[in-house]
């Protein structure tokens, strides 16, 4: 009887090693002088340069990509979902006023295929460059019989730093503050269970179907990667006292905005003050979804919000524009007489 090997059990360590070699070129693109170790160490070393920070506070975040990965499987396209994973972590960190420093990833799959893993890591590296952070390490776990051979899941972990005196937590949000929104690129990374139910279960559509209303195929519209707002946000933080930052993720407007609204106040959002992207109109029409449910599930074309003093609006808008953004004034902070923290009103 032949001796069993780890490969016989479904784990190919040689293919895993080849994946590491293929991903190295992508990982090295994200390195700065602060990164003291390459791939292969038991732990990752990162030199902490405090600069002018007097009271350093570390800000950590973790997230995944959710069922958007199903789109990657259906399209056999794996070089953008890593960017989604980074975005979900670093965009959250920047909401506290922090600058991301480094990122780690975890990828679990039924069978390691080196080129596919390298594509995933390419997307992660792309995201790290956009997020001004280094990809210092990660783990690829081959788990046969736990995941299907062509399936995988991923999670990311990011750490940033902020001076304690510059933490943004919403405590400064006041009546008459103005809300500035930054456009999303599409659905980003939330709401895909509903999206798949509408298009693939209810409508029996295919990812390769061309949709006139979207100007592209359904799959390309749905897999568009999440925008990363780190660089424009940092540019604003350097010049202005931002009172609150909101990353519109799962739960849409109604669950994310209240995180930074003090008691007795309400964010009044003016619908029509920004472009609601065609993909959301298409989802709503195909699914027969009520407008409030859309705003409770999706970002509706706004990926990040800044709450600032009304006198700072022109300057903040200018900085954002200088950094390639197309900001819109989308609302203001008002008193709440009924305990409501978000009120979406029709365009005026």
What tokens does 175 get?
Answer: 């009546």
In a domain, 1, yes or no: no
pLDDT over threshold 60, residue 1 = no
Same domain, 15 and 155: yes
- End residue of a domain, out of 123, 144, 166: 166
In a domain, 288, yes or no: yes
Mean pLDDT of 246-274: 96
Let me know: does 178 contact 311? Beta carbons within 8 Å.
no
* Rounded Cα gap, residues 346 and 280, in angstroms: 17
pLDDT in tens, 84-116: 999 999 999 999 999 999 999 999 999 999 999
CATH code (residue 121): 3.30.1330.10
- End residue of a domain, out of 166, 192, 226: 166
CA R_g for the chain: 21
In a domain, 173, yes or no: no
What tokens does 192 get?
Answer: 């895909």
In a domain, 171, yes or no: no
In a domain, 172, yes or no: no
Same domain, 186 and 89: no
What tokens does 71 get?
Answer: 């789109």
Same domain, 52 and 140: yes
Minimum mean pLDDT range among 21-30, 171-180, 196-205, 308-317: 21-30
Task: Give me the pLDDT at residue 348, please.
Answer: 55
Let me know: does 85 contact 153? Beta carbons within 8 Å.
no
- End residue of a domain, out of 143, 166, 189: 166
Rounded to two decimals, the pTM is 0.93
Minimum mean pLDDT range among 21-30, 165-174, 274-283: 21-30
Same domain, 139 and 213: no
Task: Give me the pLDDT at residue 72, please.
Answer: 96
Domain span at 41:
7-166
Task: Give me the pLDDT at residue 8, please.
Answer: 65
pLDDT over threshold 70, residue 5 = no
What's the domain count of the chain?
Answer: 2
Same domain, 192 and 270: yes
Same domain, 216 and 84: no
β-partners of residue 201 are none
Identify the three-state secondary structure at position 114. Answer: helix
What tokens does 92 get?
Answer: 């959250």
Let me know: does 248 contact 304? Beta carbons within 8 Å.
yes
Nearest to 91 by CA among 212, 227, 275: 227
Let me know: does 128 contact 280? Beta carbons within 8 Å.
no
Nearest to 182 by CA among 344, 37, 308: 308
Same domain, 124 and 258: no
pLDDT over threshold 90, residue 186 = yes
CATH code (residue 199): 3.90.650.10
Same domain, 275 and 129: no
Same domain, 157 and 28: yes
What tokens does 100 get?
Answer: 């991301």
Measured in degrees and rounded to the nearest 5, phi and psi for residue 4 equal -75, 150
Tell me, rounded to whole angstroms, the distance of Cα 244 from its chain centroid. 18
């Amino acid at each position: 009887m032949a001796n069993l090997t780890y490969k016989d059990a479904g784990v190919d360590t040689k293919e895993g090693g080849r994946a590491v070699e293929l991903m190295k070129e992508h990982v090295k693109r994200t390195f700065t002088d602060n990164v003291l170790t390459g791939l292969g160490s038991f732990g990752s070393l990162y030199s902490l340069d405090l600069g002018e920070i007097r009271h350093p506070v570390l800000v950590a975040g973790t997230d995944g990509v959710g069922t958007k990965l199903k789109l990657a499987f259906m399209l056999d396209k794996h070089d953008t979902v890593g960017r989604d994973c980074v975005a979900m972590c670093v965009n959250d960190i920047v909401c506290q006023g922090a600058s991301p420093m480094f990122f780690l990833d975890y990828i679990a799959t039924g069978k390691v295929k080196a080129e596919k893993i390298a594509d995933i890591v390419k997307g992660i590296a792309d995201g790290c460059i956009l997020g001004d952070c280094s990809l210092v390490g990660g783990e690829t776990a081959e788990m046969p019989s736990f995941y299907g051979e062509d399936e995988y899941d991923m999670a990311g972990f990011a750490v940033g730093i902020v001076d304690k005196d510059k933490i943004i937590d919403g405590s400064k949000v006041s009546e008459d503050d103005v809300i500035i929104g930054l456009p999303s690129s599409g659905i980003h990374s939330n709401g895909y269970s509903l999206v798949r139910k509408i298009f693939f279960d209810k409508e029996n559509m295919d990812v390769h179907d061309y949709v006139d209303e979207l100007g592209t195929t359904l799959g390309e519209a749905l897999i568009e990667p999440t925008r990363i707002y780190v660089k424009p946000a940092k540019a604003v933080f350097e010049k202005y006292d931002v009172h609150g930052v909101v990353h519109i993720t799962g739960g849409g407007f109604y669950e994310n905005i209240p995180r930074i609204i003090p008691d007795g106040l309400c964010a009044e959002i003016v619908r029509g003050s920004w472009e609601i992207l065609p993909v959301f109109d298409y989802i709503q029409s195909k699914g027969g979804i009520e407008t409030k449910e859309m705003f409770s599930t999706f970002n509706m074309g706004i990926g990040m919000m800044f709450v600032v003093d009304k006198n700072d609006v022109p300057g903040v808008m200018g900085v954002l524009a200088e950094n390639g953004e197309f900001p819109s004034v989308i609302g203001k902070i008002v008193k709440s007489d009924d305990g409501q923290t978000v009120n979406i009103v029709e365009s005026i």
